């Protein structure tokens, strides 16, 4: 039987959940008086008038520091298990794997170097 | 009524009645609303201290269902104007009132909110002389500042205004 009691229970619980979520919204729509007004639809709710557009460009300076954190700190974090495993590794396969990993992260460091991050400027040119 | 003040724009207080306008349902909902008024967290001057005292344990407005002070006008239906409304702040008060959803009420707490209080004198230029010049007020609670019991009594009056009957015993006369 496709529709056994468990399915019916699940479906009725689903319907009950939908009714409990949507019912109050529907009731409020039907039973509540409605405000009208100038500021009713304003997105900002602290009494002040919003001005300017929300679509402004932010200087994401901190993004560089987050990436440097990845390049140095998280890098070293992953090297700990490598260092534990390395003495028991056989052949040159492990060496090349670690070399590729470090080379990719080294490219990131080179990128930051090129951007002039390591002279610690007050504002990084993106 | 004083002559119209060009610098002060009153709030748009227009409301449309509910879609399903049944008398019995409205009465039931009014009792529900009156027993759980959600005030807007917002104090303008020293009367706000009394409002805070009302929220604390000693006077405990939660006994009467109005302890849920909301930080957003979208979630509140009661505005307690606690303090002096300066001319600079009046647009913000108006905007907050306009942003509250429809069944909404206002308590003017203290003499400043009622009439300007001690700041009402000839030639003053900084104070709105009564918040009812910019938003419609339902209950006035006089005092400078009113005692917390005064605000509670104002809440009772508002509940009486909403539901048509008084819900709490009157204090015994001594």
- Please, what sign has the CA dihedral across residues B42, B44, B49, B50? negative
Report pLDDT for B174.
74
Residue B168, domain member (yes or no):
no
Report pLDDT for B153.
93
Identify which of B17, B20, B98 has the shortest CB distance to residue A37.
Answer: B98
How many domains is chain B built from?
1
Residue B93, domain member (yes or no):
yes
State the Cα–Cα distance between residues B122 and B2, nearest whole angstrom. 13
Report pLDDT for B57.
92
Task: Determine the average pLDDT of the residues in A91-106.
Answer: 88
Is residue B84 within 8 Å of residue B76, measured between CB atoms? no
Residues of B in contact with A47 (CB under 8 A): 91-93, 95-96
Residue B107, domain member (yes or no):
yes
Residue B54, domain member (yes or no):
yes
Residue B17, domain member (yes or no):
no
**pLDDT band (50, 70, 90) for residue A65:** confident
Is residue B138 within 8 Å of residue B113, measured between CB atoms? no
Is A36 in contact with B101 (Cβ distance < 8 A)? no
Is B93 in contact with A47 (Cβ distance < 8 A)? yes
Report pLDDT for B12.
84
The side-by-side arrangement of strands in the sheet containing B139-141 is B78-82, B105-109, B139-141
| Range with top average pLDDT, A36-45, A67-76, B7-16, B138-147 | B138-147
B33 touches chain A (CB under 8 A): no
Report pLDDT for B30.
92
Report pLDDT for B159.
93
ipTM over cut 0.90 = no
A39-43, A93-97, B150-154: least confident range = A39-43
Domain that holds residue B141: 39-163
Task: Determine the average pLDDT of the residues in A85-111.
Answer: 87
Identify which of A32, A40, A42 has the shortest CB distance to residue B103.
Answer: A32
Residues of B in contact with A45 (CB under 8 A): 72-74, 96, 99
Size of interface A-B (CB pairs under 8 A): 67
- Listed in sequence order, the residues at least 6 apart from B16 whose beta carbon sits closer than 8 Å to its beta carbon are A33, A34, A36, B102
Residue B30, domain member (yes or no):
no
Task: Determine the average pLDDT of the residues in A100-119.
Answer: 84
Least Cα separation, residue A40 to chain B (angstroms): 4
Q: Give ∠ CA B70-B72-B74 in degrees, rounded to 5.
A: 105
B25 touches chain A (CB under 8 A): yes
Reading chain B (174 residues) residue by residue, the pLDDT tens digits are 455 566 678 888 888 888 888 889 889 999 999 999 999 988 888 899 999 999 999 999 999 989 899 999 999 999 999 999 998 889 899 999 999 988 899 999 999 999 988 998 888 888 988 898 899 999 999 999 899 999 999 999 999 999 999 999 888 877
* CATH number, domain containing residue B146: 3.40.50.12280
Report pLDDT for B2.
52
Task: Determine the average pLDDT of the residues in A72-95.
Answer: 86
Residues of A in contact with B12 (CB under 8 A): 36-38
Helix (H) / strand (E) containing B82? strand B78-82
């Amino acid at each position: 039987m496709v529709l056994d009691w468990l399915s019916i229970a699940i479906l009725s619980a689903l319907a009950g959940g939908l009714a409990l979520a949507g019912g109050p919204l529907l009731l409020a729509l039907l039973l509540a008086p409605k405000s009208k007004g100038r500021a009713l639809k304003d997105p900002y709710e602290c009494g002040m008038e919003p001005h300017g557009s929300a679509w402004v460009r932010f200087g994401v300076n901190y993004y560089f520091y987050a990436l440097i954190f990845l390049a140095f700190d998280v890098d070293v974090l992953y090297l700990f298990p490598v260092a534990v495993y390395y003495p028991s590794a056989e052949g040159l396969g492990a060496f090349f794997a670690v070399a590729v990993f470090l080379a990719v992260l080294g490219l990131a460091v080179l990128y930051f170097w090129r951007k002039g991050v390591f002279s610690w400027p007050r504002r990084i040119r993106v | 009524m004083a002559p119209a003040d060009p610098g002060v724009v009153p709030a748009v207080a227009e409301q449309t009645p509910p879609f399903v306008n049944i008398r019995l349902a409205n009465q039931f909902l009014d009792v529900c609303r009156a027993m759980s008024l959600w005030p807007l967290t917002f104090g303008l001057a020293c009367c706000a201290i009394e409002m805070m005292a009302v929220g604390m344990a000693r006077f405990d407005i939660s006994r009467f269902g109005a302890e849920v002070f909301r930080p957003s006008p979208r979630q509140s239906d009661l505005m307690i104007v606690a303090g002096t409304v300066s001319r600079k702040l009046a647009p913000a008060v108006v905007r907050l009132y306009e942003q509250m959803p429809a069944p909404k009420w206002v308590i003017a707490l203290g003499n400043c909110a009622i009439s300007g209080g001690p700041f009402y004198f000839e030639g003053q230029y900084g104070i709105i002389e009564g918040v009812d010049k910019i938003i419609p007020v339902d209950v006035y609670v006089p005092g400078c500042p009113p005692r917390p019991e005064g605000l509670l009594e104002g809440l009772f009056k508002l509940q009486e205004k909403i539901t048509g009957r008084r819900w709490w015993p009157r204090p015994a006369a001594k």
